[in-house]
Structures are given as C-alpha cells and as structure tokens.
Amino acid sequence: MCARYTLTKKEKDLLKAYQVKLPPDFQPNFNLAPTQQGLVITADEPDIAQKMHFGLVPYWAESIKLDFSTLNARSESATMAKTWAPLLKNHKTCLVLADGFYEWDKKSGKPVPYRFVLNDRELFAFAGLWSQWKNKITNEVYRSFTIMTTVANDTVGKVHDPKFRMPVILDQSEEALWLSKDLSVPDLMSLCNPYPDDLMNSFRVSTSVNSTVINKVHNNHPDLILPLNSL
C-alpha cells in the first residue's frame, strides 16, 4: 500500500519534468499524509497540475467522512469494485506527482520507517484515480484521489512480507498512456506493474516521520527524508 509519500522538489524542477501550469500556492511536502493535498495531473486537464486531497471520496458518498479506506486502489480487482470501476470506465485517471514514499518495517514489533526513491529519476508519478464530490447543501466541491497499488517488488518486499503491496509507479513512457482517453480499461490495467528493482533504492529514516501532526501542526520538514546515518 501507500499511505504516506513526499513531493519535495522546487517549482523549477517540477516544471522541467512536467510541462504544466502549477498552482500559485504550491509548497513542498516532506510527509504527505491522508486528507492532505497532493499534486495531480488529470486526463481531463493534462496541461495543469492541481491540488487534490489524498484519499478518494466517491461522488456518491453522503459525506467526505468515510467508514472505509480509499487511499489505495488494488489494481487486480479495481475493474470490479463499485468505487473504482466507474472512474476507470470514464477515464478519471491522474498522475500523482511524487519523489519518494514511506513504508514501515514492523517485523521487530516497532514501526521502523524507510523511504523509497528511484535511481533513474528524481521526480515520478504514481498511477492514480480521482473524483469530485459535491456537498448537496452548500455545493462545496471536494476533489480527491487514490493511488493504484500492485504486488510488491523485492525492494519493497524486504521491508514487509513479500506479499505486501506497493504503489504503481509509472515509467515515463507510460505516463501519457495512463492519461490517454483512447486506451481501453484492460490496456490501462496492463500498466499497473511493480517497478523494476534495479531502478529503486531505499533507506531508513528517522522515526520522527511516524507522526503526521505534532502539537496540532503538520510534521513537515526536510530532515524527515534524510537517511538515518546522515542525521
């Protein structure tokens, strides 16, 4: 699964990697947690990167507070799921921009955080789905997204049980395909594969990242992404 990730690069780096218009209030996030806003590029508006909440709220939900998790969509069964199938059918796909993600090794009984990054590029995109929910009383619009997952590769599996999940990281050549409205749903799902082990790296980070909020303030600072031996 993927419940916490990072997008720490500056605007100039984002613009170099993705030729899109950025929101004026974009800020790097070293500890992006559920309900916070991430940066996504949608198939409907591929020329802009927009902020949406992490944790998808289906358009049919009664409120934005759900009693089930929508942080991740399991790619193997997404086409049969009430929450995800309509989004795939209607091409509500998006690129979730990132430069790393966290997972926790719990084999010792205590959660030990690791950060995963790519060797071949600093910025990348998770395959995502997005939805728009509207409050029936106030007409307030709430846009949100989920991250597709697949079986873990060996790099991620070393932290958890080999049967663990990992986010779908798209190859650069696959990003345009994920946003294409000409691709069939089966062809879209064929893109949801584990990222190659030789193109990934991981390292331990401080347990400070375990907390998303400290004293009612978002726990978000550059030291969170540093390898443990460099602190």
Q: Please count the CA atoms within 13 angstroms of the CA of 121 that sit on its side-chain side.
A: 16
Token pair 């390898």 is found at 227
Per-residue 3-state assignment (H helix, E strand, C coil) for 71-116: CEEECCCHHHCCCCHHHHHCCCEEEEEECEEEEEECCCCCCEEEEE
- Whether 140 is a known active-site residue: answer no
How far is the C-alpha of 157 from the C-alpha of 195, rounded, in Å?
Answer: 12
How far is the C-alpha of 110 from the C-alpha of 215, rounded, in Å?
Answer: 23
Q: Point out the catalytic residue in the list 2, 94, 175, 192.
A: 2
Q: Point out the catalytic residue in the list 45, 62, 76, 103.
A: 103
How far is the C-alpha of 169 from the C-alpha of 192, rounded, in Å?
Answer: 8
- Whether 103 is a known active-site residue: answer yes
161 class by beta-carbon count within 10 Å (0-12 exposed, 13-18 middle, 19+ buried): exposed
What does the CA dihedral 50, 102, 71, 96 come to, rounded to 10 degrees?
Answer: 30
Handedness of CA 57, 60, 63, 66 (dihedral sign): negative
How far is the C-alpha of 111 from the C-alpha of 133, rounded, in Å?
Answer: 34
Task: List the catalytic residues.
Answer: 2, 103
